[in-house]
Homo-oligomer: A and B are copies of this chain.
Amino acid sequence: MYFTPPLARLIEEFQKFPGVGPKSAQRMAFYVLNMKAEDVAKLSETIVQAKEKVKHCSRCFHLSADDPCEICVNDRRDPSTICVVADSRDVVALEKTREYRGYYHVLNGLISPLEGRGPEQLTVRELVNRAPDERVKEVILAINPTIEGDATVLYISRLLKPLDVKLSRIAFGLPVGADLEYADEITLTRALEGRREI
């Protein structure tokens, strides 16, 4: 313990954050010491408030201060599609496109035997309960093309197949602006598989 204890404790707290090493934690702690006292009070309050107020929407499981969330209560959205994502950040990424107008369902993770996460830890059951709603025509799986993502897609599609609902998965291929020459083989394979007539 070379820093004075209250400072050492702060550095230690910051080091627990993901992606923050000892040097970054030091810089962050020194930044706090150089902030105005009122800004430090505001930061501390914002942290407590976020933890206290932000919950999962009981319908779609998106993070929200309201329940149901801002998206679920918006009745100008299209009730015929549910877009299934792993994480609330994916909802935000899709909302930024301003293209998708349906509702969401956040799984809160993907199936991962290695990390001991099975379907019962996810909100799969709640999705299966939502899907039979007669207004729902299509369930879009916007899930990463990883091993965990593929396993989750397989599991969900088996459960939803018996229901009278169209099931789709977002396209994988060459990202816009990318160079074919530098694309990896798996991306190219996916791009070939997903080819469309023009």
* A interface list, Cβ under 8 A from B: 2-7, 9-10, 13, 17-20, 24, 26-33, 35, 37, 40-54, 63-66, 69-70, 88-89, 91-92, 95-96
Contact = CB atoms under 8 A, between A and B. Distances in A.
A92 B70 CA distance: 49
B4 A49 contact: no
Contacts of A3: 63, 88, 92
Interface of A is mostly: helix
Nearest to A53: B6
10 contacts: A2-B96, A4-B65, A6-B46, A6-B54, A7-B50, A9-B46, A9-B49, A17-B28, A32-B47, A44-B45
B33 A40 contact: no
Contacts of A6: 46, 49-50, 52-54, 65
A33 B50 contact: yes
Contacts of A9: 46, 49-50
